[in-house]
Every structure is written in structure tokens, then in C-alpha cells.
């Protein structure tokens, strides 16, 4: 099976766009905030897949904003929600829950790697270069 970044680069970009949009509005956002939010979204979907109740996550106000943005993109890509106004319908081919879980794991791994290399905003400063 091909890596998730080859199968769903668009999904990864959509989620990263939500992260970068939040970072552009709130430059105090850190990689740690991003990783906590991605981990919480991953936990929710993993719990759903396993048929269990997810752990509760406590977020700062900024993390709450980011969580809402990331979750909205994920739900849209899963075909469960519209994006923004009513005219932006769910994608024609929603991705499976298992693939969304893999996408989130990939982003967490990337954030961790760039954080180690670039410090508290290493991932954010790396990914912002590629998102307009």
C-alpha cells in the first residue's frame, strides 16, 4: 500500500491549511498546541472506530479555535459536513475513517520532527512556506 501522503495529499493540505490559517491570526500558536489538537482529533476518530468513548481533552482558548478548524476540515473530508456556507458541499469522494486516522498520524509525526529541528514553532514556520 502506498504512503498516505501519496494517496491523500489533498487531505493533508486541507488540514495544514486550517493550522496555518489559525497561526496567521494568532502568532502565539506553538507546535505543542498543534500536536495536542491533532492528537485529540486522532483520539476522537480512533475511539469512534473502536466503539469507545474518547478521552476528554482540555484546551486553551487558542487550542479550542484550532480544534474547531481542524475538526471541521476532517468532518468535511469524511463526507459528514459542509464547509462554511451551504454551497460548499462535502467532497464527491469522502475518505474512509481509517485513512483520516493515518493522515492525522502523519501530521503529528511531521509536527514532531520539525519541532525538534526548529524549536517551539519549527513545524508552523516550515509548513507556512507552502500554504498561501
pLDDT for res 25: 97
pLDDT for res 88: 61
Q: pTM to 2 decimals? A: 0.91
pLDDT digits (tens, 9 = 90+) for 7-45: 999 999 999 999 999 999 999 999 999 999 999 999 999
Residue stretches of the chain with pLDDT short of 70: 1, 84-90
Between helix 9-25 and helix 61-77 the angle, nearest 10°, is: 160
pLDDT for res 92: 73
- Distant-in-sequence, close-in-space partners of 78: CB < 8 Å, separation ≥ 6: 94, 95, 97, 100
Alpha carbons 110 and 123: distance in angstroms, whole number: 7
pLDDT for res 118: 96
Distance of CA 69 to the CA centre of its chain: 8
Amino acid at each position: 500500500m502506498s504512503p498516505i501522503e501519496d494517496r491523500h495529499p489533498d487531505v493533508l493540505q486541507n488540514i495544514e491549511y486550517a493550522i496555518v490559517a489559525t497561526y496567521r491570526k494568532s502568532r502565539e500558536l506553538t507546535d505543542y498546541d498543534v500536536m495536542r489538537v491533532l492528537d485529540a482529533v486522532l483520539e476522537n476518530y480512533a475511539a469512534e472506530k473502536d466503539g469507545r468513548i474518547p478521552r476528554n481533552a482540555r484546551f486553551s482558548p487558542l487550542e479550542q479555535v484550532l480544534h474547531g478548524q481542524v475538526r471541521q476540515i476532517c468532518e468535511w473530508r469524511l463526507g459528514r459536513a459542509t464547509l462554511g456556507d451551504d454551497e460548499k458541499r462535502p467532497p464527491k469522494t469522502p475518505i474512509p475513517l481509517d485513512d483520516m486516522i493515518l493522515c492525522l498520524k502523519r501530521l503529528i509525526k511531521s509536527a514532531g520532527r520539525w519541532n525538534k529541528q526548529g524549536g517551539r514553532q519549527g513545524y508552523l514556520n516550515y509548513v507556512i512556506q507552502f500554504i498561501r
